Structure 1
Amino acid sequence: MPVLIAAVVLVGLLCTLDLILTLGVIKRLREHTAMLSKMADGNAPGRPPVIKVGEEVGEFQAVSVDGELLTRESLSGDTLVAFFSPSCGPCHEMLPKFAEYARTVPGGRKQVLAVVVGTPERAKGQVAELSPVARVVVQGSEPVLTDAFQIMGFPTLLEVASDGAGRPVIARNNVNLDSPVVAA
């Protein structure tokens, strides 16, 4: 009989512990849900938001893999701008879809700028895939383009257009590769 009582008490204690742990997990899931919804709004705690629509592109000077000198003034008309990194898994997944989308951009590769952030050796594969559809810049240790566009993570897709004063500004900071390109 004492063994049976001890077993019932032990099972009761285990059930109580399980209930306490389950309530803790539910509380933690609610906290994470709140954090994720803030991130979706671009207000992730401790992380600056993506460059806002209407913000002016910063000054930059870079040389494409084809030897073309690029500045913010070379972003004429509607320009699709993408940032990739060889060490980024989602970048590798998005790259073929981006290349297909870039093929349909009015004005061709002159209206598409792709920036690969990494060493030239590591960026080789992405450069080869992007070169037919975009002007490609490999950015090494100098964060010229990532600073000009306020890039915080990869991959990042932006659309740049000229404002009323002719300055290049962000027209869209979240380009949907599933929707077709619409000429302005």
Structure 2
Amino acid sequence: MPVLIAAVVLVGLLCTLDLILTLGVIKRLRDHTALLAKAAEGSPPGRPPVIKVGEEVGEFSAVSVDGEVLTRASLSGDTLVAFFSPSCGPCHEMLPKFAEYARTVPGGRKQVLAVVVGTPDRAKGQVAGLTSVARVVVQDADLALTDAFQVFGFPTLLQVTTDGAGRPVIARNSVNLDAPVVAA
């Protein structure tokens, strides 16, 4: 009988320990869910995942695959800006839809800037799909454009416009490729 009592007590203690650990895991999951929700709203602790609407685009200088020197001043009027990476699965899925959307942008490819972040060899496929609809920059070691636009993840789609002082600012930090093109 004492062995049976000891076994029941041991099983009870193990169940209690399991319950305590499960409650701890649930609490951690709730904390992580709250952090992810804040990130989706654009206000996580630390750096935001996307530049905020109304923020000014930083200074940059880059050369497109066509040899055109692009600077912050190159962003005149409403400009669609996209950041892709060859190692990003969602980027490959989004690229055809983005190219279709970019074809409808008023002003044509002059009003569309696509940045492929990766080595030129790895970026070839994405560059080929973008050159007909956008001014394309391949960014390898120099991260001037990703720094200027505060890009921390891929793909990132932005709409830039000029404010009253003529400075390029973010009009939209999320572009719905299923919706028709609209001015900022």
Q: Deviations over 1:85-141 (max 9, x none)?
A: 112233223222222221221222221100011110111111011112211010121
**Partner residue of 1:22?**
22
**Partner residue of 2:107?**
107
Question: Is the CA contact (8 Å cut-off) linking 2:82 and 2:157 kept in structure 1?
Answer: yes
Deviates more, 1:6-15 or 1:108-117: 6-15
Within 2, Cα distance between the matches of 1:10 and 1:96? 61
**Partner residue of 1:35?**
35
- TM-score, length-scaled by structure 2: 0.89
Within 2, Cα distance between the matches of 1:84 and 1:165? 30
- Letter of the structure 2 residue corresponding to residue 27 of structure 1: K
Deviates more, 1:104-113 or 1:44-53: 44-53
**Partner residue of 2:129?**
129
Identity %: 86
**Partner residue of 1:118?**
118
- Letter of the structure 2 residue corresponding to residue 117 of structure 1: V
- TM-score, length-scaled by structure 1: 0.89
- Letter of the structure 2 residue corresponding to residue 170 of structure 1: I
Gaps of 5+ in 2: none
**Partner residue of 2:140?**
140
The answer to whether structure 1 residue 160 and structure 2 residue 145 are counterparts is no
- Letter of the structure 2 residue corresponding to residue 5 of structure 1: I
Within 2, Cα distance between the matches of 1:77 and 1:147? 21
After superposing on structure 2, the runs of 4+ consecutive aligned residues of structure 1 that deviate more than 4 Å are none
Within 2, Cα distance between the matches of 1:52 and 1:10? 56
How far apart are 1:32 and its partner, in Å?
A: 0.9
Within 1, Cα distance between the matches of 2:9 and 2:106? 74
Within 1, Cα distance between the matches of 2:183 and 2:143? 31
Gaps of 5+ in 1: none
How far apart are 1:81 and its partner, in Å?
A: 0.2
Within 1, Cα distance between the matches of 2:46 and 2:91? 23
The count of corresponding residues between Structure 1 and Structure 2 is 184
How far apart are 1:3 and its partner, in Å?
A: 4.3
Q: Deviations over 1:50-104 (max 9, x none)?
A: 2222222222222211122222222222110011111223322322222222122
**Partner residue of 1:91?**
91
Deviates more, 1:6-15 or 1:32-41: 6-15
Q: Deviations over 1:124-172 (max 9, x none)?
A: 1110111122110101211221122222222211101111222221111
**Partner residue of 1:170?**
170
Within 2, Cα distance between the matches of 1:183 and 1:60? 24
Within 1, Cα distance between the matches of 2:6 and 2:103? 73
**Partner residue of 2:68?**
68
Question: Is the CA contact (8 Å cut-off) linking 2:110 and 2:135 kept in structure 1?
Answer: yes
How far apart are 1:181 and its partner, in Å?
A: 1.2
Question: Is the CA contact (8 Å cut-off) linking 2:101 and 2:177 kept in structure 1?
Answer: yes
Counterparts in 2 of 1:4-19, with a 5 A limit? 4-19=4-19
Question: Is the CA contact (8 Å cut-off) linking 2:42 and 2:52 kept in structure 1?
Answer: no
